[in-house]
Each structure stands twice: as C-alpha cells, then as structure tokens.
Chains A and B, each alone.
Chain A
Amino acid sequence: MNAKSEVINGRSDNFVSRLKEEWRQYVIYLGFVVIFIFFSLTLSDKGFLDPNNLLNIVRQTTMIAVMAVAMTFVLSSGEIDLAIGAVAGLVSVTTAMSIARFGMFGGIIGGLLTGVVVGLVNGLLTTRVGIPSFLVTLAMMGIARGTAMWVSNTAAIPILDKTYYFTFGSGNIGPVPILLIWALVVAVIGHIALRKTTFGRKVLATGGSETAARFTGIKTHDIKLQVLIISSVAAAIAGMLYAGRLRSGRFQLGEGDELSVIAAAVLGGTSLFGGFGSVVGSIVGALMIGLINNGLILMGLEFSQQLIARGVIIILAVMVARSRR
C-alpha cells in the first residue's frame, strides 16, 4: 500500500513540467500583447492606435471589467452568476426612475438597493434552500429582465441629472475617461480583497474544497451568500455606469454580458470549478474581449461575422489557458 502511494506521489517536479504548468497562467498576458500587436499592424490605417479609439475600448470594457472582478469571486467560490447582465439592465431602469423622483442620491441608493436585494435572493436560494446557483441565477435572469421591461414600459427613461451622468460614465477628468477610474478602483479593491484579506482566502478555500473548508470551520454558506451579493452589487454598479454613459435607463442594457464576463474571467485564469482566481487576469480578459470586438469592427466585419469570430477566438484562448488540472 505504501509502495503504491509513493508511485502516485513520486511524480517528479522537474523544470520542464513546471514550465509546462506555469506558462498557462501567463498566456493571457502574452495573448493580449500578441492580439494588440496584430491589430496595430493590420489596422494602423484604420485608426486602431488612435488615442481616441484606445480610450473607446476602455469605455466599452469598463462594465464588463467591473462585473468580471466580482465574477472572479463567484467562480473562485465554486458558484456561478448568470443574472448579472439582466441585473445591470434592471438597475439602469430603477436608477433612472429613482433619479427622476428623488434626485441623484436617491438614484444611487435605489440602484444599489436593487443589486443587494437580487443578490440576497440569489444567495439565500442557493445556500439556504440548496438550489444550484446556475439554476437560481438563470431564473433570476428572466425575472430581472422582465421586471425591467415591466416597470419601464419597455421605454428608455432619460436621466437629466448632470452630476450623475458625469460621475457615472459620461465624464472625463482631463483626457482620462471617468470610466477608466471606475475600472481601476474596482480592480484594485478586488485584487486586494482576493489576495490580501481573510475573506479572499476563505472564498478560495470554499471553492477549492467545500468539504475541507467546512471541516476547517469556515462558514461556507455565508461566504457563498456574500459572494453572490457582491456579484449583484457589481452588476448594479455596471448598470449605473451604463445608465450614466447613455444618460438613460433601458431594459436592454447589459444583454448577453454574462457570457462576456464569464469568458473574461476564465480567459484570465479563474477556474470554472472553483479554488483558483485572479482579478488581474479577469481585467486583462475583459480588455482582451473589448480589444477583439473593436478590432473586428474596424476590420469592417458584419455583426454576424463578428459574433462568429469572437466565439472562435474565445474558444481558442480558453483551450490554451485551460485550467491546470
């Protein structure tokens, strides 16, 4: 018996196998650089490198990036949240409506509250009732989108508060779009929370092995509940940014974002099965998706072709970056 376990554990960790294991962790950064250089060369005459275009990529990527940071926690804890895109749409509507009635702060509170409530419902159904988060959030996706359509009568609700739409998406500080600041702040907070706080450790342990984490005295249900609330609140922030950028709340906003967000996180090296996550990776993953979208548009591809090309690129990237197991 001992002999057998020795054979299993005796796998030698030589340099080649270590390199083989570790390069996948960094392939996302390499891929990002390669794609960037490729577009720079092929699309130089179409203004790819124009600062305005690059800032546009950032503007278009921020909402995905904000949600991808939270998704890193959700996936790391071994759960998933499919409702985020719909929640962003719903929050854009509730925020716009609250601003119209109560002013800017009322709007912000209304938006955040919507996120917290949805997250709480998702989390309680997942951890207390025991329905898998996949199903809970799939159902919530329809509920949130439907509610948004219902309360808005499927119409866009304009936002006239200048301070609001400056702060949440439309403004620039000097040459820097305010959205870039939002993305940076969320990324820094997320990175520190995952790497440097006890909460981050507990999230990773819960996703790595829920049984072992529970045996260690971690309240894994509470961790999962918190993570799902964080995810909905991040989706709420994204929805508020969408609303600020378009100066209106619309139920369609954020449609399909859940797929881009999950793709961004997985591209960045976060495991779909839990236990591993990287906030920096998720940000770069989100930027890469924004980069690809932008490049394909500049190439003059039709929307149908863009969808196909994006799908193929994501599959290829995930194949290469596939989790280390």
Chain B
Amino acid sequence: MSQSEQQTDDAVVMIGIAKSFGGVAALEHVDFSVRKGEIHALLGGNGAGKSTVLKMLSGVHKPDKGEIWINGVKLEEHTPEAARRLGIAMIFQEMSLIPSLTVAQNIFLTREPKGAIGMLDDRTALKEARILLEKIGVNLDPRRRVDNLSSGQRQLTEIAKALSQQASVLIMDEPTSTLSSAEIDHMFAFLERLKKSHASIIYVSHRMEEIRRIADRVTVIRNGRNVMTKAVAETTLEAIVEEIVGRRVGAFDRKARATKAGEEVLRCVSVTAKPRPVEANLTVRAGEIVGIAGLMGSGRTSLAKSIFGLQPIASGEIRLKEKVVKISAPPDAVEAGIAMIPEDRLTQGLVLQHSVADNMTLPVIDRNSRFGFVQEAKEKTLVAAYIKQLRVKTASPQKPVRTLSGGNAQKVVLAKWLATDPLLLILDEPTAGVDIGSKTEIVEIVRGFADRGRGVLVISSEPAELLALSDRILVMAGGRVVREISSEEIESWAEHSTDAAHRISLMETGLQVAIQEANS
C-alpha cells in the first residue's frame, strides 16, 4: 500500500511503533490505521499491548520507535495536549466529569464563555450546549447535574465534551460495561450517526457480539504486535478469538488434579442482589476449585461480594456445609469460615502503610490474643512461618507492605487469609498485576489449599488462569450462571493435541468462545 496516500486519507496512522518499559518490550512493532468515518475495534488479551497503543495515540507515552500521524499531521510532541489538539479524545469510563456541575458546565469546563467584564456567561454556555447536543442528536437537558445522570447519559456528555473540543477520533475503552441493554442500543445508534459525520471511533471491548454489531474493521494485538486487521464481515468469532489467544507461552499450565470432591462446602440457591447477581446457583465441594468466567459486568464480582456480606442479598440463600447461613457483613462471613482475596489488593486487600506482619495478622488478631492482649510471640511465629511457606520477598516483616512488589503483596493477602484457616476461599482476580513467577507460585498455593479438603471459588478475567486452576468452570452472563463446563469438556477442547502450549491455546479458545456464546 502506498503510505503517503494513506496518511492523507486516514484519521490515524501508526507506523512501526515500538515501546519498552524498563527494558521489557511492551510493543515490538505495531502498524495500525483508522479510516475516517470508521468504527475500528482494537482487541487483545490482558497485557497484549492494547492499552499501550492507546496511550501512545493519546500522547501519554512517547514511542521508542515509529511515527504517529493524526488527520495527516505528524504527532511531534508527545503530550496529551498535543494529541488532543490534533483531534484525539479518550472517553474515560468513570470519567473526567465533575459530578457536582451541570452538563453544560462540564462541557465548557475551563473554556467557559465569558461576558464583557470577564464574568462567566452561563446563558451563552447553556445555549451553545443545547445546540451542540441537538447537533449530535443527544436528548439531554444541559442544565441537569451530572451526578443525577445515568451511566449512559454521562458517557454521552463525555462524548459531547470531546466533540465540542473538535475531536475527530474517539477512543472508547469498554464503553458498554456499565450500561443497560437499552442504553447500549441508544449508544450504538448514536455512534452510527457520529460515523456518518466522518468521525472515527477506536472501540475496545471484550464483547465479540458488540464488535460484530458495531465495528467495521477489527485489529488484534498480541505480544506487542498487530497480528490481524480485517473487515468484521469477512471474519468469524472463532477466527478472532484464535488470533487473540495465539500460541502464547504463558505462566499457566493446566494440570489435571486428582479431585476427590468431598462433601458440599458452599451452595448458593438463587442468590439475587441489586443489580447483580440474578438467581445465581452454584455449589463448591470440599477439595474442589470452581472457576467463574464471564465478561466485565457479568456479575462475577457481585456474586462474590454477596457471599462475603459486602452486598446485601435480596433473595435466595447461602448454605455452608448444608446449613443456611445469614451473612450481612464481612465479620459474619469470616466467622462462618469464608475468606476472600478481593479484586483490588491495594485498597481492599491491604493496609498499605502498615507492615507485612501487621497485615498478615489482622484477620486473626482475636484468635492470637488473650483477654484482649495481643500475644506477640504467637504472631511472630505465624508471620515467620507464612513468609517462609509462601516465599514472600521482604527485607523484614516490619517493612510497610507498600514497598513490596505486586506478587509479594498478593502473597501477603493470601497469607493473611490462609491464616484464618477458612472452609471456603474466594479469590477475585488473584494474579492480576502479578509477575509471571509469582503467578505460578500463587496457582500452586491455591491448589495446595484445595488439596487439604477445602473449597475454592476463583473469579478471573484471564481464561488461562481459570483453566490452570479450576476443576469446573461456571460461565456468568447478565448476572446469571448460564453454563457449567466440566473438566472433561475442557479436556475435550484439546483432545487432538499433545503439545502443551498448543493444548492450553486450544482450551483458551474454547473457553473464550463459550463466554462469547453465553453473551449472544
């Protein structure tokens, strides 16, 4: 293809982009272009380099190699301001709007129309906002305060704000994850109209069904390279998923466990909460690891929160060891023998400023005390034992846990909960933001825990991780548990292959397809 011609025709042209962080290559070589008036889906697994590409484009990072052209102008100065001037707008999810201001005030924030003596002219702002919203076909009163809007309306406000700044390329990252299906329809109709006015949209999503509905072309990034760019109409779901998964050599490996699933540990009977889960049913037996797969917003984390007492249950019941338990707050859950490794270890899992030792002993201080006094010798032994057993790398147990790497911090969270010796361990994204070595170690720790006859429930958005850990996998969509995948079925996806790396790729593809099917 002739590049000079492309550069004048296309809204975005990225050529030979490479970038590494601290000596590790995040992007090796990416060519990526977006036509004017096109919705272009950008896909890739976790850590594939997708977000790095978008950060280059929006000026957050400077590429080590390669060129970026926006609307025929080369991006020379790699700052968010420069990229914005050339027409790039990133539509944030939870977002750059100030909740206490109105729609009109947000649209014109820092660029407010002013009157003769420099006073803010709210009337002109309101009028201009109205004209703008009407022009892009958004039915929204600009006088409304943002905190009274639904997520969909907020997103539209965000887009209106971007367009008022002459944006011609919108980057949208998982825009539908917080929207209802009616709002999604509305949003898609709006994007179609926007497209007709020659705006370009880069659309990032894990929902294949949406991509097939809205996108014109699709580009897949894997291991820091663009491996596929095709018109959506010319490809299939399976082909796209195969490209995303690729044949990557990951940290995970599926090893069949000799499961002797014992008595029932947990049973959820049509557990319902607002807004999710919806009539969720599941069981976990002693010695068993059950995985929960699903897209963002499918209710995976909400289900875990409901079991752990962080979100009130509207109806349904939770049974532990076949006895109905009433869990209205985390202390009840801990008391009943449930432990949860939360999704966000930095805010939910750890008191960052406190020491490794203090964090590890926090859930068991009552057990390690006599008449309210902490038995420090007992604690010391416990901390030393877990640091050794989980191989936590820390200069001393007294170091603040914030000084630890992601993997070691996660081991502290694990240690803290293993120390409570729970019946049931729930893990939400247990290896997110963790280095490869620690990932493997964490998988081993969890397996070891299950081998001791305890129940484990794992939630993950990384299929490889679920496959590595789980005996069975439940797929959630729209708040419901819609499918159960047995160990045999997982094995059947890879029955024709003996090569380990190929087998895990085949299983990943199988699971991804199952998740997508559950959503269509």
Residues of A within 8 A of B486 (CB): none
**Which of A198, A199, A215 meets B330, CB within 8 Å?**
A215
Residues of A within 8 A of B353 (CB): 208, 275-276, 325
Closest to A276 in B: B353
State whether the Cβ of B372 lies closer than 8 Å to any Cβ in chain A: yes
**In whole Å, how far is B3's beta carbon from the nearest beta carbon of chain A?**
31
Q: Is the CB of B354 within 8 A of A275?
A: yes
Q: Is the CB of A3 within 8 A of B21?
A: yes
The secondary-structure label for the interface of chain A is helix
State whether the Cβ of B472 lies closer than 8 Å to any Cβ in chain A: no
State whether the Cβ of A7 lies closer than 8 Å to any Cβ in chain B: yes
Residues of A within 8 A of B416 (CB): 216
Known: A9-B404, A13-B395, A209-B350. A217 touches B363 (CB 8 A): yes
Q: Is the CB of A218 within 8 A of B362?
A: yes
Q: Is the CB of A9 within 8 A of B403?
A: yes
State whether the Cβ of A153 lies closer than 8 Å to any Cβ in chain B: no
State whether the Cβ of B23 lies closer than 8 Å to any Cβ in chain A: yes
When chains A and B are docked, how far (Å) is the Cα of A215 from the Cα of B333?
10
Q: Is the CB of A219 within 8 A of B347?
A: no
Known: A6-B405, A216-B362. A196 touches B351 (CB 8 A): no
Known: A197-B372, A216-B362, A218-B362. A5 touches B405 (CB 8 A): yes
Q: Is the CB of B433 within 8 A of A5?
A: yes
Q: Is the CB of A197 within 8 A of B369?
A: yes
**In whole Å, how far is A149's beta carbon from the nearest beta carbon of chain B?**
38
When chains A and B are docked, how far (Å) is the Cα of A13 from the Cα of B21?
22
**Which of B21, B333, B347, B366 meets A209, CB within 8 Å?**
B347
Q: Is the CB of A211 within 8 A of B348?
A: yes
Q: Is the CB of A208 within 8 A of B21?
A: no
State whether the Cβ of A201 lies closer than 8 Å to any Cβ in chain B: yes
Q: Kindly supply a per-residue 1/0 record for chain B positions 107-125, scoring 1 wherever the CB is within 8 Å of any chain A CB and 0 otherwise.
A: 0000000000000000000
Q: Kindly supply a per-residue 1/0 record for chain A positions 98-119, scoring 1 wherever the CB is within 8 Å of any chain B CB and 0 otherwise.
A: 0000000000000000000000
Residues of B within 8 A of A204 (CB): 351, 354, 358
Q: Which of B302-348 contact A (CB under 8 A)?
A: 310, 329-331, 333-335, 340, 342, 347-348
State whether the Cβ of A4 lies closer than 8 Å to any Cβ in chain B: yes
Q: Is the CB of A3 within 8 A of B22?
A: yes
Q: Is the CB of A212 within 8 A of B348?
A: yes
Q: Is the CB of B351 within 8 A of A3?
A: no
Q: Is the CB of A217 within 8 A of B334?
A: yes
Closest to B349 in A: A212
When chains A and B are docked, how far (Å) is the Cα of A214 from the Cα of B20?
38
When chains A and B are docked, how far (Å) is the Cα of A141 from the Cα of B307?
42
State whether the Cβ of B26 lies closer than 8 Å to any Cβ in chain A: yes
When chains A and B are docked, how far (Å) is the Cα of A128 from the Cα of B342?
25
State whether the Cβ of A11 lies closer than 8 Å to any Cβ in chain B: yes
When chains A and B are docked, how far (Å) is the Cα of A2 from the Cα of B416?
24
Q: Is the CB of A217 within 8 A of B331?
A: yes
Q: Which of B26-55 contact A (CB under 8 A)?
A: 26, 47
Q: Kindly supply a per-residue 1/0 record for chain B positions 3-33, scoring 1 wherever the CB is within 8 Å of any chain A CB and 0 otherwise.
A: 0000000000000000011111010000000
Known: A1-B47, A276-B353. A217 touches B333 (CB 8 A): yes
Q: Is the CB of A199 within 8 A of B347?
A: no
Residues of A within 8 A of B445 (CB): none
Closest to B435 in A: A2
Residues of A within 8 A of B374 (CB): 196-198, 201
Q: Kindly supply a per-residue 1/0 record for chain B positions 360-385, scoring 1 wherever the CB is within 8 Å of any chain A CB and 0 otherwise.
A: 01110110010011101000000000
Residues of A within 8 A of B348 (CB): 211-212, 215
When chains A and B are docked, how far (Å) is the Cα of A227 from the Cα of B376?
23
Residues of B within 8 A of A202 (CB): 365
When chains A and B are docked, how far (Å) is the Cα of A275 from the Cα of B404?
19
Q: Kindly supply a per-residue 1/0 record for chain A positions 257-289, scoring 1 wherever the CB is within 8 Å of any chain B CB and 0 otherwise.
A: 000000000000000000110000000000000
Residues of B within 8 A of A275 (CB): 351, 353-354
State whether the Cβ of B297 lies closer than 8 Å to any Cβ in chain A: no
State whether the Cβ of A320 lies closer than 8 Å to any Cβ in chain B: no
**In whole Å, how far is B281's beta carbon from the nearest beta carbon of chain A?**
25
Known: A6-B22, A9-B403, A218-B331. A208 touches B351 (CB 8 A): yes
Residues of A within 8 A of B376 (CB): 196
Q: Which of A180-219 contact B (CB under 8 A)?
A: 196-199, 201-202, 204-205, 208-209, 211-219
**In whole Å, how far is A3's beta carbon from the nearest beta carbon of chain B?**
4
Q: Is the CB of B330 within 8 A of A212?
A: no
Q: Is the CB of A215 within 8 A of B340?
A: yes
Known: A208-B351, A216-B363. A3 touches B23 (CB 8 A): yes
Extra inter-chain contacts (6) besides given A1-B433, A2-B24, CB under 8 Å: A4-B21, A4-B22, A11-B403, A197-B374, A208-B351, A211-B348
6 contacts between A and B (CB under 8 A): A197-B374, A205-B354, A209-B352, A213-B362, A217-B333, A219-B331
Nearest 6 pairs of A and B residues by beta carbon = A217-B334, A3-B24, A208-B351, A3-B22, A3-B21, A198-B365
**B: which residues have CB within 8 A of A?**
20-24, 26, 47, 310, 329-331, 333-335, 340, 342, 347-354, 358, 361-363, 365-366, 369, 372-374, 376, 395, 399, 403-406, 416, 433, 435-436
**A: which residues have CB within 8 A of B?**
1-7, 9, 11, 13, 196-199, 201-202, 204-205, 208-209, 211-219, 275-276, 325
